[in-house]
Amino acid sequence: MKRIYFQAGPTTLPKEVMQQAKEEWDDFLGTGLNIMEHSHRGSEYEGIHNQAKTRMKRLLDIPDTHEVLFLQGGASLQFAMIPMNLIQSGKTAKYILTGSWSEKAYKEAQKIGSCEAVVTGKDSEYRALPEMNYVSSENDAYLHITSNNTIYGTQWPDLHAFKHPNLVADMSSDIMSRPLSIKDYGLIYAGAQKNLGPSGVTAVIIRKDLLQENKSVPSILSYCVHAKNNSLYNTPPVYSIYLLNLVLGWIEKSGGVVEMEKRNHNKAQVIYDAIDQSNGFYNGYATPESRSNMNITFTLESDALEKQFIKESEENGIYGLKGHRSVGGFRASIYNAVPQESCDSLAQFMKHFQEKYG
């Protein structure tokens, strides 16, 4: 039976990407080697590295005011690198808390410099995005937001709501899922393992004036050092960047981020419809106005029914639906590479399950 997957990340990559990687496995461009066996200083890898950077710029319409970096350490390392590099003395970093990942980012910043949580959605158990009433102050180092809250299934619908001279956004779980206005950001970061490729590489888009040299920041943690070295200060994760480049090529061929946004909206709609038309059999975790088009979270009435749902979904070839341990229930993660048919199959299964047990 064909299996379909909805994991929160790492997750499925586009079939075409896996096919190309397979074809090039032991002979990259007639060299008789896999790309990961090539030197990161050689022309074969250099071509991939620069193509990936160019594709990022083209896909997100990144202006020359911003630099693209490929780093390691996941989004979690960015939780530390951002305050290390961007909190100047006398300034305070501001955080908007919309879930566990923004809490983690804030906790790391507290170890490093002056920071403050200015808006929080915790009162709603992170089911709803808080009202955005924060007005920037002269004293702010930056304002940190999480654009999509992977665990709770909430996503800021309109990122233009954030007006801040140094807006910093964790876009780990929705980068490349919709168009962005890059000029509105000081820094954007995203671990690759959801919408960009495999784990091991983190994309950072940073406005060039924020690339300040700071002697107290170790070289490997300095944006300035990575930018000066075109993200080749140390050995990059060659194979992860190779796959990221193929994924970006696939997004381009598919019609870019405008097409991704359309597809993701349609994919999410069929699953939200199954929840909303269930007369309360399925309960959406996120409030309707805060819903994510990337992670769809819902619960059933009892633990016994939830266990049965997982058992029968797997019998029907549907995997990866278990919700995060802090929320329970289910989470269908429908990143760019998840096709419409997978979402249709899940919605069908949900309807059949309800007919049987509702």
Query: Which of the residues are catalytic?
Result: 101, 170, 194
Contacts to ligand PMP by CB under 6 A: 9, 74-76, 101, 146, 150, 170, 172-173, 191
Cα–Cα distances (Å) from 104 to 75, 149, 170, 282, in that order, read: 11, 12, 11, 30
- Cβ distance to ligand PMP smaller for residue 189 or 298: 189
Q: Is 75 annotated as a binding residue?
A: yes
DSSP bridge pairs for 149: 154
Q: Is 297 annotated as a binding residue?
A: no
* Cβ-proximal residue to ligand PMP, closest one: 74
Report the DSSP pairing between strands 202-207 and 295-299.
unpaired
**Residues 169-183 as b or e (16 or more Cβ within 10 Å = b):** bbbbbbbbbbebebe
Q: State both tokens at 204.
A: 């950072």
Task: With beta carbons less than 8 A apart as the criterion, state whether 98 and 122 touch.
Answer: no
Q: How far is the CB of 352 from ligand PMP (least distance, A)?
A: 30
Q: Is 170 annotated as a binding residue?
A: yes
Q: Is 20 annotated as a binding residue?
A: no
Which residue, among 216, 249, 220, 247, has the nearest Cα to 233 in the 3D structure? 220
* Residue 84, helix vs strand vs coil: helix
Q: How far is the CB of 90 from ligand PMP (least distance, A)?
A: 28
Task: With beta carbons less than 8 A apart as the criterion, state whether 297 and 150 touch.
Answer: no
- Cβ distance to ligand PMP smaller for residue 150 or 245: 150
Q: How far is the CB of 279 from ligand PMP (least distance, A)?
A: 32
DSSP bridge pairs for 322: 330
- Cβ distance to ligand PMP smaller for residue 52 or 151: 151
Q: How far is the CB of 101 from ligand PMP (least distance, A)?
A: 4
Q: Is 234 annotated as a binding residue?
A: yes
Task: With beta carbons less than 8 A apart as the criterion, state whether 61 and 182 touch.
Answer: yes
- Cβ distance to ligand PMP smaller for residue 96 or 300: 96
**Residues annotated in a binding site for pyridoxal 5'-phosphate:** 75-76, 101, 150, 170, 193, 234-235
**Residues annotated in a binding site:** 41, 75-76, 101, 150, 170, 193, 234-235
**Residues annotated in a binding site for L-glutamate:** 41
